[in-house]
Amino acid sequence: MSFQNIEINIGSIVLGDRSLNNGQYGEKRSVKKVNFDVPFSGTPKVSLGINFFDSSISENATRVRTIATNITNQGFDCIFTAWEGNTIYDMQVDYVAVYNPRLNGNSNNNRNTNNNSNNNNNSNNRQQQQQQYHDDNRNNQSFQNMNINDENDYNDRQPEHREQPQRREQQQSQLADKQVNIKSIKHNSYIRDNQSVADLSQTARGNETWTITAANNGTYYIHNHFNHYLSSQGNDRVLSSERNDSSLWRIQERRQGVYSIQNAKTGNYLSATDRGEVKTNVKQVNSWEEFQFIYI
């Protein structure tokens, strides 16, 4: 089957607020509007998958669901819901939206046009329609059975996957030798050097200014005018006065303008905690590990 005309959008939706953490018993709901990066030619099918959630439970059961509704070619509404005594502190949902013209009636329209223009050949038309019907069914079944999570097969078809090396080069040129404020998306605060201790600050001044220096193999040093380096020492120490392999970071763009910062040695991610601390003891990315770079 040809995938030439199939349109696909993928992305993530982060709850990112306390709308499901209001202390009330019963149903709690939050609606997030999602706009597709590229509008579809028609109304797509949308599939949701929960990437992570942080919650407390009641009666030994976790009660949470997500629904895609109000789907158009421009976007959709994602409804997050929890009920009874469950409290959701944060949650992320990944979505795949697919539009296939063959599944939206184009073939039927073509067959109707052929019938109207060939009334003198009804018998032949019926045979052609039957053959087309069987062909369409086989194609539709092939599409439905397609393993959209087959990374090697699926990613090769995506333009953004083929453009990854170019995007990495652009990212390296944008970040290297730049002075930035590093802003936590979740807390709307900046990473600060507070007397040799890394924490969060609501304002961006001198102690919140960092320099990103390219190292090698796509890694970076992140340091400040005190010659303190962001580092992952395997404990709560985030700042170091020495530049070594524990001070090498990989900066990965998760979506436009949003980055994760992963230590090249330990694999841990830089994380902004709810207590205003900065840690490096997290192995996977949630909203606490997402940052923006504000260029100075």
Q: What domains lie within the chain, and their CATH numbers?
A: 7-99 (2.60.40.2080), 167-295 (2.80.10.50)
Average pLDDT of the segment spanning 223-227? 91
So what's the pLDDT on residue 154? 44
**Does residue 111 contact residue 97 with C-beta atoms inside 8 Å?**
no
**What is the pLDDT at residue 93?**
94
Q: What average pLDDT does this structure show over 217-225?
A: 90
What's the rounded Cα separation, in Å, for the pair 183 and 208? 9
pLDDT 10s digits, 92-137 = 999 999 998 877 654 445 445 445 555 555 555 556 666 665 565 5
Window from 144-148, 180-184, 252-256 with minimum mean pLDDT: 144-148
Residue percentage of the chain with pLDDT more than 90: 30
Work out the mean pLDDT of the chain and round it to a whole number. Answer: 78
Q: pLDDT value at position 107?
A: 44
* pLDDT: which is higher, 113 or 254: 254
Average pLDDT for residues 248-260, to the nearest whole number?
88
pLDDT at residue 141 is higher than 50: yes
Which of 45-59, 71-85, 108-122, 271-285 shows the lowest per-residue confidence on average (mean pLDDT)? 108-122
173/187 Cα distance (integer angstroms): 28
Dist. CA 274–CA 245, nearest whole Å? 28
Per-residue confidence (pLDDT) for residue 176, from 0 to 100: 74
Distance in angstroms (rounded) separating the CA atoms of residues 213 and 219: 9
> Where does the pLDDT of residue 162 fall: very low under 50, low under 70, confident under 90, or very high at 90 and above?
very low
Higher pLDDT, 71 or 104: 71
State if pTM tops 0.75. Answer: no
Task: Give the full edge-to-edge strand order of the sheet including 7-14.
Answer: 7-14, 87-99, 45-56
pLDDT score of 219 more than 70: yes
User: Where residue 280 falls among pLDDT bands split at 50, 70, 90?
Assistant: confident
pLDDT, average across residues 57-72: 82
Average pLDDT, integer, range 213-242: 85
pLDDT at 155 over 50: no
Cα 103 to chain centroid distance, Å, stands at 27
pLDDT number for residue 2: 52
pLDDT above 50 for 173: yes
31-51 confidence digits (pLDDT tens): 999 999 999 999 999 999 998
pLDDT number for residue 78: 95
